[in-house]
Structure 1
Amino acid sequence: MPNTSARPKHGRRTRRRRREDPARNELVSSSLESAQQCLFSQDYGTAFVHYLLVLNLAPEFKDFATESFRFTLFKWAEELDSVGRIQDLFNCYEQALELFPTDEVILNNMGEHLFRMGFRDEAAGYFHKALKRRPDYPEARENFYRVANWLVERWHFLMLNDHGRNRKYQQAIQKAVQSGCNTVLDIGTGTGILGMCAKQAGAAEVYACELSKTMYELACEVVAANGMDSSIKILHMKSLEMEVPRDIPHRVSLVVTETVDAGLFGEGIIESLIHAWHHLLLPPQRGENEFSEQSATGRVIPAGATVFGMALECVEIRRHHRLCVSEVGSLSMAAAGELRSPVSCSSEPHDSMEPYTTERLSRLPGGYKPLTEPFTALSIDFNNVQELEGLSSREVQQVRLPVTQEGKLDALAVWFQLHLDEESSISTGPQEDTCWEQAIYPVHNAKDELIVEVSCLDAYLRLCSVAVVRDGHEIRLDKCQDLHYSENPISHANQEAELCSALACLQTDQNQTKDFCMVECSEMALLNNQDYHQSFCRALVKLISQLKLKCQNREQGAGVGSDLADPVNSTDRSDLLYVLDVSEGFSLLSLIAASQGQVKAYSSVEKNKQQEVLKRLAHSNNIPEQHLEFWLNYMDDEQGMLQRPSREELWSAIILDCIETCGLIRQKLMEKASLARVTFQIHVLIYLIDTRCLLEEGGRIFPERIVVYGKLVESNTLLLESAVQGQEPTLGFNIAPFINQFTVPVHVFLDFSTLDCNHLSESVELFVLDLMDTNANYSNREVKVQATSAGRITAIPFWYHIYLDQEISVSTLSQNSHWKQAAIVLQQPLEVQAGDWVRLAVKIHKSTISISAYVDCVPGPMEY
């Protein structure tokens, strides 16, 4: 405490004023003026330097200059980002945060740059700081939700809620520790639950490692909250980097891990265990079997695994991995060549392709049909290091599978049984209630008897259907890509004809590799969505016919109608209608527009091979080459200028890709749709648009309107996949409050048609987004919906009706849609009785939907 007796006795001493420094004041004044001039002339780099000088010399100007400084920082950062000056970009943000260390807007924008560049952990830290500064800041909250999906993947919640799985691991660990395994290493500890099981079982020493910074910090918090932080050492590193005695004092007697994915080996368990046996584990007992319990030796939980497979027919898998239609809209696809998804189980895998994808077979729309009995593909002993080391060099195994049901072979589905010890195992089969999905290996069409090759090239499990056996003849599928089989029984004569055709195919040059074009699974499903493209085709035909007629009337009125005799070959650009497609990814909508004649279409397709496909399709569908433009090709050309329509510089139609495949409105759609100014200098090309400013009279934006629909449901599944439900599923350990910090209220990639739920209301209109008149939109709305059944409202799934015009629409809920749905999961379930009115407060902020639900005490109809 200060010495109060030292205070002056005759009144407060007058504070000395800071001496005025004319030179400083002159510098501040001139720099501030220069900053504003540079800002006006869009010289953001120089303006930023001037603002730094002003605010460092005169902090009293901070309040006055905050908004201008933020704007300058963000614009300069965009320029630095566009030219790849990443270090300079971050230096600018660091300088800004020295001046404004708690500015939530700057913190949030710094996080956005970090997230885009892949620094997710660091980005989460900045979003969290912004939220601590301002908890109601919607941009930071939405960004934190977005990054949370990357940092703590959603399967963590489902896995921790899987009490059966957790209990079996706990029992196996307890049995091993009680048999003498006193030192334990938990590889890939996640939340630390397996390490805590080992300590609870009585292990003398427990170590754990975790590569993810977020999960490492989470595990430290969880272990501390459960009173074990002094007895469990957690390391932020890969187990492959661990050494004795640098990281742990000596070798351990037990390794526990669950670093397995749906394809068993995808998370690197083989490499981790080989390293552990050589460097971290006590050596195994010689001569003992895989479940040896000798306390002086090392062992692994799980002790091993058996992999199973099954051939199946499934329309849902087929339409995501193969082109199933001969026409898309009005276009013949014959010239498209071979289109492939990024997933291929080819016997000669491409570097850019994954060997398998994952699906929960029990939830596939339309179900699936097994074509064979399940077969054993592979067994592995995790306690045998020689077997682990020899896995990649194993001889390719051929399995012959009698086809038990006739059909089209779409995929090989794979699951496994994880043997924890000699008594306990966990199955990930399609009929099990488990947190795992199944691995899916898409294949070609076949029937009768299949020959499947099983290998472990580069420590990934690979299954490839390589041949079909018919009438004793082996037909190689990978050498005869175009061989197809009828689903119906065929005559012996037809079988012979097909066999001859196949044998002729085999005599072609075996070294010839077929060129292919890769499209994403969602893009393949989009190509197979006939309703979507037919609807767009009808809407475009209507619009273009109207505009052609209007154009002809205008030209005839001017006395030049005869010039329209050959509009396709006309050299006069004023004869053309202009369509701009800014869809994401591989889109044929620009080509559909160009196929209508007298239309020049600008496509957003960027990949070279995909552009080549569109050019081939244009040629084969008699579309003049000059009527299709790839405007993103100008991005690297500083002198390049996207040629705007010459007729009043307006567009006839602008096509927007509004809904993401996951079921959400595309990020910042409404902001982009309401921009009043567009510059087509390519280095600053903006995505879109105030359509009324850029569309010619009668022109249209597609879609013109989006209507959001929803429904009240009770779904325990969505609860389990969204948050850990208390301590019971986690064996009494206190984990839920910590991992639930990463709970995201919106559940995406949902298939409402197969969701296990009780419907508690009819569908209701939640929101309307008008893209033709963005000024007519609103940011919040209240809706009343009546419960039709009693239950607990746990979630509100939502989907979209996309109106291309007043009459033509497509739904993201349709059976053949390439879109999935999304759902708002309520933090607290809401109890309702049949007849209750529920008030929904629906908000949309920067394309993000949020919904709160309340039981309304005042009965009444739906309100707006």
Structure 2
Amino acid sequence: MPNETSKSKKSKRSRRAAQREAQREAPREATREDPARNELISRSLESAQQCLLQQDYGTAFVHYLLVLNLAPVLKDFARESFRFTLFKWADELDSIGRIQDLFDSYEQALELYPVDEVIVNSMGEHLFRMGFRDEAAAHFHKALKLRPDFPEAKENFYRVANWLVERWHFLMLNDHGRNRKYQLAIQRAVQEGFSTVLDIGTGTGILGMCAKKAGASEVYACELSKTMYELGCEVVSANNMADSIKILHMKSLEMEIPKDIPKRVSLVVTETVDAGLLGEGIIESLIHAWKNLLLPPPNPEEPLSTPSQTGRVIPAGATVFGMAVECQEIRRHHRLCVPAVGGLDLEAVGEIRSPVSCSVDADESAEPYTTERLSRLPGGFTALTEPCRVLDIDFNNVQELEGLCCSKTTRLRVPVTQEGVVDALAVWFQLHLDQENSISTGPQENTCWEQAIYPMQSPAHCSVKCGDELLVEVSCRDAYLRLCCVAVVRDGQTFHLDSMEDDDGLISQSNPEVDLCSALASLQTRHDTPANMFTLECSEIALLNNVTYHNSFRTALDKLLTSLRASQETQDPEVCCSEPLYVLDVSEGFSVLSLMAARLGQDSGTVLRAYSSVEKEQHQALLQLLGQSNGVEESAVEFWLSQVDDESALLQRPASEKLWSAIMLDCIETCGLIRQRLMEKATLARCLLEDGGRIFPERIIIHGLLVEADTLLQESAVQGTDPTLGFNIAPFINQFTVPVHVFLDLSTLECTHLSDPAELFTLDLMNTNNNYDSRDIRVRVSASGRVTAIPFWYQIYLDADLTVSTFSQDSHWKQAAVVLQCPLVVNAGDWVRLTVQLHKSSISITAVREEGEEATAAANASA
């Protein structure tokens, strides 16, 4: 998440000096013609500064507002003090939940300082923490426009830009085949007489501009995202269509005639489809459009009706396909796959599943599917069935669309063609633009869409063989396409994956063991599975399945505890038996490290108190149940966040006279970036360690290599100098280019390695004297090509001997890559000098080919 609020830091001495200076200058700067007004300004300024000294930030803020509204000439002079007051007051309002007052304060501040990049950036940080990602990212972008070298805004913007302008926009605009097919379909419809057009979810405005270029008489468009709306307006204006295309900042569901558009249109164009086809609400928006915004569809009984009297939708419809797949990568993100980690038995706690589920008993907050690009999954996948047709939808039939939302669940029988374990149902679709043009999002296609993944969530381990059939339920509840594999049919018998009932709903009474062994032995159903069921995020499940990570932590902790016990015995053997050791785990999300430490303490006879930063009640309940099932005393683990008032106190001591024996920091985000404020936390943590205590990890080494990967270029910016379909779009959307690609699977990335891996940077969390801000390294080029990116990952040193890599087969982390927008042409044997800089948790890399002066090329990027 973005950095915490940027604050002006002044000592009391400097504030008093500023106070005295202000008192001298205020009367001189203010309007001299009104002595009473000047007196009010002077008194209010003095009161503001007195309130600051008394830490009464709310009153100080009110006084500053009065002063600066009455005497704008004091704005530059009071800027730093005003910022400090605003940020302190905003933090106070945030802590007591007065959110509206917080944003009102920022609005008042921005009326006074509309182009103050620090205030703009700080408001963005508050917006982001409140969940307003689009608005937050827009503030970060504005702050960068005001000051391009503002590092805090740059780091914030890069981390949230994926929400501002999603990466698929670049892929879509780089997909010349897709763009041309849409253009041809729109052109044909307009030439047939469908000349009044509404573009729903216009984005950059490209489809609306295609309609206008094809000769449409009227073109309207709507866009919900404020950022994309503003971008679309810029693009349309740059292409001299601002007077002929009206873009509305609203949902199409809110549009009315004649309030928003003067009359019904004859053609709706849209691409509001996600990987699961219906997830962006296309059914609801098209039903509303047919009833309120579109001319009626052609009447088969009136063949003489003309396009000017009828309506049409592009795309005309879609066909959905699905197949069952076996994939270890999907499995380990959605189901617990290991019986134990770090000395803890996991099997006794019940079922642990991800929040992605279409089952009947799924929580209301459960997502029906997630998305993956099947062709890039580490370890690949195996198709267990042939692709089957799941659903056909006619977007030009409003009755069919209405019936889809309220239709009953249907069942498909899908023949199994390959033996294996069913881990998920993978779904894609073919979008029929018109009778001649269609687009496929299948796993073999190279499009901007991923595939929808419906993971198996039943307690049964579903192994199948050739000749079996899968029973798959299909519905469109809540406007989402939902698929759920509910049963396996083998040799005429139906075995339900949840209850193992027969097709009549009755548990087989003849001989359950014999039936399951002979007919469905490989389902491996556990009859003793406890009733408990816990939900963890996909990344948390992948972490729990990472045996290497937990076993390495256990070994490192064991070594530390042994060392500390030995030190205690040397100093005072009697104290050794009674003096507890304190261990703090401040991992993000769910973590069992504190429980592992408590178990280690008990096994070794050490009095140890472990503190966990786990916040969610369900997660605490899971840890407590894990502790009980593993014989850990209930008093050995405490939940630390319930004992602290705010995040700043997270690393404080467990008691005033005690220090921590070990502090476990969560250093790397799942996406592949260093966690923000990591070095600040490490600096504070070092001050709170007892003699011999350790921070885990103690250091991190960043590794990287040079690659040529056109895929990363396609996903990070619109490529080339030629206009997209003849429209000038790239300069506008490319201003949102983020020079770092996150959630990267380097093992499956289509790329050419141009060098061996190299050490880029070291972060020493235990010894600050070993750290540096910048480092130059030379990398030898091993193959000729274009350096388009520098992927990087981390070797995490728990101690001098124990390490964990974020680039390993069982890693729950992804990798990241700096993308060079100006590729660097190199030949085998060349040397490339990389300048790596670290600002807070943001890495910047400059790549320069070391050759003759005239041939030297440079490319800059920041991550």
TM-score bracket, shorter-length normalisation: 0.7 to 0.9
Matched with 1:232 is 245
| 1:153 paired to 2:147 | no
Q: How far has the Cα of 1:54 moved from its partner?
A: 5.8
Q: Spell out, residue by residue over 1:683-726, the C-alpha distance to the aligned partner (whole angstroms, 9 max, x if none).
A: xxxxxxx2331000000001110111111111100000000113
Contact residue 631 and residue 642 of structure 1 kept, 8 A: no
Contact residue 107 and residue 130 of structure 1 kept, 8 A: yes
Task: Please show how residues 332-411 of structure 1 align to structure 2 within 5 Å.
Answer: 332-411=345-424
Matched with 1:607 is 616
Q: How far has the Cα of 1:128 moved from its partner?
A: 3.9
Which of 451, 455, 464 pairs up with 1:442? Answer: 455
Matched with 2:488 is 468
Moved more, 93-102 or 410-419: 93-102
Matched with 2:551 is 534
Which of 780, 802, 809 pairs up with 1:808? Answer: 802
The 3-state SS of whatever aligns with 2:420 is: coil
Q: How far has the Cα of 1:145 moved from its partner?
A: 2.5
Residues 1:592 and 1:40: Cα distance change in structure 2 (over 3 Å): farther
CA distance, structure 2, for counterparts of residue 281 and residue 212 of structure 1: 23
Q: How far has the Cα of 1:26 moved from its partner?
A: 7.9
CA distance, structure 2, for counterparts of residue 643 and residue 852 of structure 1: 38
Amino acid at match of 1:579: V
The 3-state SS of whatever aligns with 1:453 is: strand
Q: Spell out, residue by residue over 1:191-211, the C-alpha distance to the aligned partner (whole angstroms, 9 max, x if none).
A: 111111111111111111111
Amino acid at match of 1:297: T
Residues 1:531 and 1:435: Cα distance change in structure 2 (over 3 Å): same
Contact residue 370 and residue 405 of structure 1 kept, 8 A: yes
The 3-state SS of whatever aligns with 1:720 is: helix
Contact residue 262 and residue 439 of structure 1 kept, 8 A: yes
Task: Please show how residues 182-581 of structure 1 align to structure 2 within 5 Å.
Answer: 182-287=195-300, 296-443=309-456, 444=458, 445-447=462-464, 448-480=468-500, 496-497=516-517, 514-556=531-573, 560=574, 564=577, 575-581=579-585
The 3-state SS of whatever aligns with 1:392 is: helix
| 1:713 paired to 2:707 | yes
Q: Spell out, residue by residue over 1:322-344, the C-alpha distance to the aligned partner (whole angstroms, 9 max, x if none).
A: 00000011101122221110101
Contact residue 183 and residue 252 of structure 1 kept, 8 A: yes
Amino acid at match of 1:543: L
Q: How far has the Cα of 1:789 moved from its partner?
A: 1.1
CA distance, structure 1, for counterparts of residue 560 and residue 58 of structure 2: 45
Matched with 2:120 is 107
Which of 597, 622, 631 pairs up with 1:622? Answer: 631
CA distance, structure 1, for counterparts of residue 117 and residue 646 of structure 2: 36
Residues 1:727 and 1:264: Cα distance change in structure 2 (over 3 Å): farther
CA distance, structure 2, for counterparts of residue 54 and residue 287 of structure 1: 73
Amino acid at match of 2:590: F
The 3-state SS of whatever aligns with 1:372 is: coil
Contact residue 336 and residue 541 of structure 2 kept, 8 A: yes
| 1:170 paired to 2:183 | yes
Matched with 1:685 is none
Residues 1:553 and 1:647: Cα distance change in structure 2 (over 3 Å): farther
Residues 1:727 and 1:296: Cα distance change in structure 2 (over 3 Å): farther
CA distance, structure 2, for counterparts of residue 60 and residue 384 of structure 1: 64
| 1:832 paired to 2:826 | yes
| 1:730 paired to 2:724 | yes
Amino acid at match of 2:591: S
CA distance, structure 2, for counterparts of residue 506 and residue 795 of structure 1: 48
Amino acid at match of 1:547: L
Matched with 1:668 is 677
CA distance, structure 2, for counterparts of residue 723 and residue 258 of structure 1: 20
Contact residue 120 and residue 142 of structure 2 kept, 8 A: yes
CA distance, structure 2, for counterparts of residue 229 and residue 19 of structure 1: 49
Q: State how many pairs are aligned.
A: 803
Amino acid at match of 1:452: V
Which of 850, 859, 862 pairs up with 1:856? Answer: 850
The 3-state SS of whatever aligns with 2:152 is: helix
Contact residue 475 and residue 502 of structure 1 kept, 8 A: no
CA distance, structure 2, for counterparts of residue 28 and residue 582 of structure 1: 48
CA distance, structure 2, for counterparts of residue 154 and residue 16 of structure 1: 50
Residues 1:47 and 1:774: Cα distance change in structure 2 (over 3 Å): farther
Contact residue 341 and residue 520 of structure 1 kept, 8 A: yes
Contact residue 350 and residue 533 of structure 2 kept, 8 A: yes
CA distance, structure 2, for counterparts of residue 455 and residue 82 of structure 1: 44
Contact residue 525 and residue 818 of structure 1 kept, 8 A: yes
Contact residue 161 and residue 729 of structure 1 kept, 8 A: no
Amino acid at match of 2:159: R
Percent identity for Structure 1 against Structure 2: 70
Task: Please show how residues 764-783 of structure 1 align to structure 2 within 5 Å.
Answer: 764-783=758-777
Q: Spell out, residue by residue over 1:163-195, the C-alpha distance to the aligned partner (whole angstroms, 9 max, x if none).
A: 111111111111111112111111111111111
Contact residue 199 and residue 207 of structure 2 kept, 8 A: yes
Q: Spell out, residue by residue over 1:105-138, the C-alpha distance to the aligned partner (whole angstroms, 9 max, x if none).
A: 2222122222322444543454344334322111
Residues 1:393 and 1:98: Cα distance change in structure 2 (over 3 Å): closer
Contact residue 31 and residue 71 of structure 2 kept, 8 A: no
Amino acid at match of 1:458: D
Task: Please show how residues 39-78 of structure 1 align to structure 2 within 5 Å.
Answer: 39-52=52-65, 65-78=78-91
CA distance, structure 1, for counterparts of residue 302 and residue 161 of structure 2: 43
CA distance, structure 1, for counterparts of residue 410 and residue 292 of structure 2: 31
For structure 2, the 5+ residue unaligned runs are: 1-27, 502-511, 602-606, 857-863
| 1:593 paired to 2:597 | yes
Which of 790, 805, 811 pairs up with 2:784? Answer: 790
Q: Spell out, residue by residue over 1:783-832, the C-alpha distance to the aligned partner (whole angstroms, 9 max, x if none).
A: 21121111111111110011111111100001110000011111211111
Q: How far has the Cα of 1:855 moved from its partner?
A: 1.2
Residues 1:427 and 1:593: Cα distance change in structure 2 (over 3 Å): same
Moved more, 40-49 or 640-649: 640-649
CA distance, structure 2, for counterparts of residue 79 and residue 73 of structure 1: 10
Contact residue 211 and residue 237 of structure 1 kept, 8 A: yes
Which of 656, 659, 662 pairs up with 1:650? Answer: 659
Residues 1:305 and 1:637: Cα distance change in structure 2 (over 3 Å): closer
Residues 1:551 and 1:499: Cα distance change in structure 2 (over 3 Å): farther
Contact residue 176 and residue 293 of structure 1 kept, 8 A: no
For structure 1, the 5+ residue unaligned runs are: 1-14, 482-491, 565-571, 675-689
Q: How far has the Cα of 1:255 moved from its partner?
A: 1.0
* Aligned residues: CA RMSD: 3.1
The 3-state SS of whatever aligns with 1:158 is: helix
CA distance, structure 2, for counterparts of residue 516 and residue 493 of structure 1: 25
CA distance, structure 1, for counterparts of residue 69 and residue 253 of structure 2: 47
Q: Spell out, residue by residue over 1:205-232, the C-alpha distance to the aligned partner (whole angstroms, 9 max, x if none).
A: 1111111111111111111111222221
The 3-state SS of whatever aligns with 1:379 is: strand
Contact residue 767 and residue 842 of structure 1 kept, 8 A: yes
TM-score in terms of structure 2 length: 0.87
Q: How far has the Cα of 1:635 moved from its partner?
A: 5.2
Q: How far has the Cα of 1:519 moved from its partner?
A: 0.5
Q: Spell out, residue by residue over 1:433-486, the C-alpha distance to the aligned partner (whole angstroms, 9 max, x if none).
A: 2111100000142313211111111221111100011232111112249xxxxx
CA distance, structure 1, for counterparts of residue 552 and residue 229 of structure 2: 50
TM-score in terms of structure 1 length: 0.87
Matched with 2:22 is none
Q: How far has the Cα of 1:17 moved from its partner?
A: 11
Amino acid at match of 1:456: C
Matched with 2:5 is none
Residues 1:200 and 1:22: Cα distance change in structure 2 (over 3 Å): closer
Q: Spell out, residue by residue over 1:498-553, the C-alpha distance to the aligned partner (whole angstroms, 9 max, x if none).
A: 76999999999xxx995421110000000001111111111001001111221222
Residues 1:743 and 1:500: Cα distance change in structure 2 (over 3 Å): closer
Residues 1:494 and 1:404: Cα distance change in structure 2 (over 3 Å): farther
Q: How far has the Cα of 1:40 moved from its partner?
A: 4.7
Residues 1:694 and 1:26: Cα distance change in structure 2 (over 3 Å): farther
